[in-house]
Structure 1
Amino acid sequence: MKSSGNTILVTGGGSGIGREYARRWHDAGNTVIVAGRTLSSLAETAKGRENIHPVEFDVADAQGVAAFATGLCERFPGLNVVVNNAGIMPFETIEAPRDLDDAERVVETNLLGPIRLIDAFIEQLKTAEDAALINVSSGLAFVPLPKAASYSASKAALHSYTLSLRKRLEGLVEVIELIPPGVQTELTPGQSQLEGYLPLDDFVTESMALLAQKSTPSEICVEAVRAFRNSEANGNQQELLDMLGAR
């Protein structure tokens, strides 16, 4: 992926990882579109940066995806990078019957949202120069957090889908998976203050250095997430699962 001169769409750009990436990419010489449900948060991301453009959009809105993509491509015909970053992570009790609304919202937002968005933008990306698609999964795709079972499962599914996309789009669109560890954001309440989570600025700095490599890795794994990503191969997946289950 080239570092500057792109037109980049970032979903979930109103906070956390999406906000910080949008600002860094803008400052590196890119045009950035930030999409999300809350326009005021997106405007805060764009504050003081004339080439960050806020656009209100909910990735869970199945009926609105096609119109959103058409309108965005007309407004930004040079769009060549799509970043599927939007996601939600509710904690769940799965060991007893329950209301499944949270689980369904997770799948709708974290998995069906990216699939629908990719489908809507795929022809644009296939004809764009230096096109790239970045799917943001999680270290929890490889070792699940039991109290966030649906979130972990949705990210495991997104990882698998990304593998298929990479194969089918080979030679047409660069497909990259960004695999964050636990990062100090407000993905869950209070997470931005938790010890043991990677500071947001440190995560983005390290991961952007990996993205800037001459040959961009297909998976962006900062050091803090490697134990999770490689746990099955290394034979310590159960140990890490037990650790997460005790939290």
Structure 2
Amino acid sequence: MQMTGNTILITGGGSGIGRALAEAFHAKGNQVIVAGRRRAMLEEVVAANPGMQALELDITRDDAIKAFASKLTTDFPALNVVIQNAGIMRNEDLQKGETDTAEATITTNLLGPIRLTAALLPHLTAQPHGALMTVSSGLAYLPLAMTPTYCATKAAIHSYTESLRYQLKDTSLQVLELAPPYVQTGLMGDRQANDPHAMPLKAFIDEVMTILSTQPEVHEILVDRVKPLRFAAGGADKTADYAAFFKQFNDGMAAARQGEK
């Protein structure tokens, strides 16, 4: 991926990983546009980073995505990089039989990126040095049982990204996937943002930017901290090891978060 001279859209750019990526790319001289549903948070990011731009986007609505894509490509015709970072993560008790959380998660984390990709692909494939990056998760490979639909959507994003890369292999558009580990962000509230067991956000972003800078043809961006999750399944002879790791990981997380709703 080209690191400078880009016009970059980052969804979910008002906080967490999205904001940190936006600021890192902005510092390298790229034109960065942050998008999200919360106008106040976007304005805060722009105020702290002169020259950055912001556009509101409700990633849950197909009509809003289409209107957004039209305005975006009109206002920023040089747009050549899109980072699909918007997402939600919520605990679910599957025994309660409710599906509201699952439906909201699927709409935001899976349908939203698919719809936005469809709306922007004709523009992106026509740009020089184009790139489209999805943000999955280490939990796409080893699920956290307390957030089942989140993990399922991230597994689906991984699969979708692989297929998209293959279908676009004869174009100039580079398709990348960023799979974060457990990072200190507000994705699941203040507890995660301050959890010493989570990877510090700055350390994560620094490692991501180093990978992108030193490996321009990389397809999967994997910091060292996520590799135990990414490669947990191993080969066919690793089934027992995976099962043990799955239990250890989920037992540990359940104990750490006991009492959370």
TM-score range, shorter chain: over 0.9
RMSD: 1.1
**How far apart are the structure 1 equivalents of 2:146 and 2:99?**
14
Q: Secondary structure at the match of 1:47?
A: helix
What is the match of residue 47 of structure 2? 47
Q: How far does residue 132 in structure 1 lie from its aligned partner after superposition? A: 0.2
Question: Any residues of structure 2 matched to 1:49-88 within 5 Å, and which?
Answer: 49-88=49-88
Counterparts of 2:51 and 2:163 in 1: how far apart (Å)? 33
Give the length in aligned residue pairs: 246
CA distance in 2, matches of 1:206, 1:214: 12
Instruction: Report the identity percentage.
Output: 42
What is the distance in 1 between the residues matched to 2:96 and 2:41? 36
Q: Which residue of 1 aligns with 2:227?
A: 226
Answer whether contact 2:165 2:174 (CA < 8 A) is retained.
yes
Report what 2:198 is aligned to: 197
Find the residue that maps to 2:122 and give its secondary structure.
helix
Offset, 1:43: 1.3
Q: Please, which of 249, 252, 257 is the counterpart of residue 244 of structure 1?
A: 249
Deviates more, 1:153-162 or 1:237-246: 237-246
| Secondary structure, aligned partner of 2:234 | helix
Alignment of 1:38-187 (within 5 A): 38-94=38-94, 96-172=95-171, 173-187=173-187
CA separation in 2, counterparts of 1:216 and 1:36? Answer: 28
- TM-score between the two structures when normalised by the length of structure 1: 0.97
Whether the aligned pair in 2 keeps the contact of 1:210 and 1:216 (CA below 8 Å) is no
TM-score, reference length from structure 2: 0.92
What letter corresponds to residue 200 of structure 1 in structure 2?
L
For 1:149 and 1:15, the matched residues in 2 are separated by 23
Gaps of 5+ in 2: 255-261
Alpha-carbon distance in structure 1 between the residues aligned to 2:195 and 2:245: 19
Displacement of 1:99 after TM fit? 1.9
Could you tell me whether the CA contact under 8 Å between 2:2 and 2:216 is conserved in 1? Answer: no
* Unmatched tracts of structure 1, length 5 or more: none
Change (3 A) 1:169 1:193: same
Task: Give the aligned residue type for 2:168.
Answer: L
Single out whichever of 140-149 and 212-221 deviates more from structure 2: 212-221
Contact 1:146 1:244 in 2 (8 A): no
Structure 1 SS opposite 2:146? helix
Q: What SS is found at the alignment partner of 1:176?
A: strand
CA–CA separation in structure 1 for the residues paired with 2:136 and 2:116 = 15
In structure 2, give the amino acid aligned to 1:108: T
Distance 1:214 1:148 in 2: 32
